[in-house]
Amino acid sequence: MLLMQQIVNSRANFVAFVECWIDLFSVFHSPYKFHCRTSPAVLSRQRPLSAGDKLRTVLQGIILLPPRAICIASLVLLAWLLASIATFGHPAKGSVPLKGWRRRMIQTTLSCLTRTLFFVMGFQVKVKGKIAGLLEAPVVVAAPHSSFFDAIISALTGMPSVVSRAENLSTPVFGTILSSIQPVSVSRQDPDSRKNTAAEITKRALSRGQWPQILIFPEGTCTNRSCLITFKQGAFLPGVPVQPVLLRYPNRVDTVTWTWQGYSGTELLLMTLCQLYTRVEVEFLPVHVPTEEEKNDPIIFADRVRQTMATALNVPVTDHTFEDCRLMISAGQLTLPMEAGLVEFTKISKKLNLKWNHVREQLDTFAAIASASKGGRIGIEEFAEYLKLPISDVLRELFLLFDRNGDGTIDFREYVIGLSILCNPANTEETIRMAFKLFDADEDGTVTEEEFAHIIQAALGVPDLDVSVLFKEIDADETKKLSYDEFKNYALTHPVYAKLFTTYLELQRYHSGMLDEDGIESNDSPVKESPVTKNATPGSETTPMARNKVCPEGNDEDYSCTSDKKDD
């Protein structure tokens, strides 16, 4: 019994050690791991271990795991001791760079210990190219980023500074080691963290050698190495020369790739320690000296460096980014397929001026609509059910404006673009007030269900439409009358209706214009006196056509306009 207890305690201690070791190397990656559907490059490509591989891993692990674990623990403790000596009496929080013997101790001893650590774990490291010095390239950018094992670059480049969460600095043992390389700390509690981090990177990169080199993984998250996602601008904001570094893991059994769909960090570490060896190739490309154009535009700078690295790796590039990863995780939490959140956020946000929080809120709405569908996409049935309206010609036309590729469904990207281009611009205070007046036929400041039904039926061309469910949802105070505030609040949170309202209003103006041309007197206010809105009978010539066209065919005057279905 005592022996069993010791075994259990030993195993628990080892697992705790493994988790702490992984936490140390978490500074080299974001807490999110990335994959996407548009390119096979960003899905987990790890094949399940065959029966033979599993047996081989177990047998090798029995022999290799215990001594490797002991050596790793010893090396980590020695690194902690040396880091403590180097940072003893030095100002905390990296406000002053390490100099003299302190920096040399970190660059030599800690770098040597880290190399030894990887050797003990069974890594066979092949280095290509020339490593640039601090003054030649103040910033080192590495890609593709796929694992916490990518920290091997740190040992090869003399323990440069990295970008790390501030919380990591308080971790026992590992926090001291991390502090010795003087990371650029990021605080989640600080609302200005992004700006402060960029400013700190710029300050260090322009310090002319006072601070160590800065190692940055510009993808900002882990991928599976089969493509390069969009680079973040942080490494390129200073406008200084950067050295691109490539990472390859040419192994038959992949035990290093850490993506969302795949093994956990602990599983990867244990499987890697149970391998006889793990090959890694690190290639240092020539230093990229930015042009004046690149210095003035970090986006161009980042894209050109990424293209250079992708060409050398012979892999494609994709416009997906770290924000897509965050949306992907949110989609999974909303029981949508995780790939539903991949919208090429950075690309469309630049064109449509979208903010992250706004798009995240739209994902909640999209999930509510698509929850009953398969594959996380919206069909015409789900679209109509969400709007609590029947499928009509007008609704089909509106749906087609969202369905940009014409496949009969709306994915989240199409939904975001549709709201931004079609609905949100129409959902203004003026439009909402005009629509309310349109419904308020007796001008008493409220809208009854009968008034509401009359306009909706006319707008959709469905004379027998039952709108009671929709009316009750808008009627928040259950008075059976809609106030302007109730109407406005519902319209603001359901901008799709704005497009229906504006389409109807424009059709009213069009029909009023046609009546004027025929010599029939028309009131200036189509809201109150148009034959369409007052005393119109189903099937009459003045009933609005069930078409969702802002400018119906046949009108060549000032009512013409361009299509709302713009390019991305």
- Percent of the chain scoring above 90 in pLDDT: 26
When pLDDT is cut at 50, 70 and 90, the band that residue 188 belongs to is low
The residue among 248 and 4 whose pLDDT is bigger is: 248
| Most confidently modeled range among 3-12, 19-28, 244-253, 506-515 | 244-253
User: Is the peptide bond preceding residue 144 cis, with omega within 30 degrees of 0?
Assistant: yes
List the end-to-end C-alpha distance of the chain, in Å, as a whole number.
68
Residue 434 in tokens: 């005009």
Q: At 11, give phi and psi (nearest 5°).
A: -65, -40
**59 and 154 inside one domain:** yes
8-state DSSP, 222: B
- Is the per-residue pLDDT at 120 higher than 80? yes
pLDDT over 90 (residue 497): no
- The mean of the pLDDT values for the chain is 77
pLDDT of residue 179: 87
Quote the percentage of the chain above a pLDDT of 70.
77
Using pLDDT thresholds of 50, 70 and 90, give the confidence band for residue 29. very low
Cα–Cα distances (Å) from 242 to 58, 150, 271, in that order, read 43, 18, 34
**Helices and strands counted in the chain (H then E):** 22, 9
**Do residues 419 and 497 both lie within one domain?**
no
Closest of 481, 466, 548 to residue 510, by C-alpha: 548
How many Å apart are CA 59 and CA 79, to the nearest integer?
30
Q: Where are the alpha helices (DSSP H) in 164-315?
A: 174-180, 193-205, 265-273, 292-296, 298-313
Nearest to 112 by CA among 71, 159, 151: 159
Model confidence pLDDT, tens digit, residues 85-101:
988 887 766 678 888 89
Residues 175 and 299 occupy one common structural domain: yes
Other residues' Cβ atoms within 10 Å of the Cβ of residue 278: 22
Domain enclosing residue 57, as ranges: 46-313
Is 367 part of any domain?
yes
Tokens for 533? Answer: 């809105």
Residue 45: per-residue pLDDT: 52
| Number of separate domains in the chain | 3
Nearest to 516 by CA among 549, 559, 545: 559
Predicted local distance difference test score (pLDDT) of residue 472: 86
156, part of any domain: yes
Name the token pair of 529: 């006196």
The mean per-residue pLDDT over the stretch 260-271 comes to: 79
138-157 confidence digits (pLDDT tens): 999 999 998 889 999 999 99
pLDDT score of 11: 40
Q: Kindly state whether residue 82 falls inside one of the protein's structural domains.
A: yes
Q: Judge if 159 and 101 occupy the same domain.
A: yes
**What backbone phi and psi angles, to 5 degrees, belong to 262?**
165, -160
> Once rounded to an integer, what is the mean pLDDT over residues 373-393?
81
Question: Which one, of 216, 117, 200, lies nearest residue 163 by Cα?
Answer: 216
Q: Is the pLDDT of residue 298 over 90?
A: yes
C-alpha to C-alpha distance for 34 and 324, rounded to whole angstroms:
8
Is the domain of 55 the same as that of 171? yes
C-beta separation of 281 from 250 below 8 A: yes
Tell me: do 476 and 338 sit in the same domain: no
For residue 295, what pLDDT band results from cuts at 50, 70 and 90?
Answer: very high
Residue-level pLDDT at 22: 41
465: how many CB neighbours lie within 10 A of its CB? 17
Domain boundary among 244, 279, 313: 313
| 249 and 298 fall within a common domain | yes
Instruction: Say how far apart CA 434 and CA 533 lie, in whole Å.
Output: 14
Whole-number pLDDT of residue 519: 45
**Can you say whether residue 184 is alpha, beta or left, with left for phi > 0 and alpha for psi between -120 and 50 degrees?**
beta
What pLDDT score does 420 carry? 81
In terms of domains, do 422 and 433 share one? no
Q: pLDDT tens, 199-233?
A: 989 999 999 889 999 999 998 888 888 889 889 88
Asked if residue 14 has pLDDT above 50, the reply is no
Residue 131 has pLDDT above 90, yes or no: yes
Highest mean pLDDT among 15-19, 372-376, 447-451, 543-547: 447-451
Reported as a pLDDT band with limits 50, 70 and 90, residue 540 is: very low
Residues 421 and 446 in one domain: no
Are 396 and 455 members of one domain? Answer: no
More confident position, 306 or 514? 306
Is residue 25 in some structural domain? no
What integer pLDDT is reported at residue 450 of this predicted model? 87
Are 162 and 292 in a shared domain? yes
Q: How many CB atoms lie within 10 A of CB 557?
A: 9
Is residue 494, in this structure, part of any structural domain at all? yes
Residues 6+ apart with CB under 8 A from 457: 463, 464, 465, 467
Structure tokens at 137: 């390239």
Q: Give kind and range of the element (H or E) at residue 487.
A: helix 484-493
Residue where one domain finishes, among candidates 426, 455, 473: 426
3-state class of 542 per DSSP? coil
Three-state SS across 28-85?
HCCCCECCCCCCHHHCCCCCCCCHHHHHHHHHHHHHHHHHHHHHHHHHHHHHHHHHHH
For residue 560, being part of any structural domain is answered with: no
The residue out of 313, 348, 376 marking a domain boundary is 313
Would you state the structure tokens that stand for residue 42, as one six-digit string?
Answer: 């960003």
Residue 276 pLDDT level (bands cut at 50, 70, 90): very high
542 within domain boundaries: no
Establish if 548 belongs to a structural domain. Answer: no
pLDDT of residue 543 exceeding 50, the answer is no
Q: Region 101-108: what's the mean pLDDT?
A: 90
CA distance 290 to 373: 49
Q: Are 60 and 140 found together in one domain? A: yes
Give the CATH number of the domain where residue 459 resides. Answer: 1.10.238.10
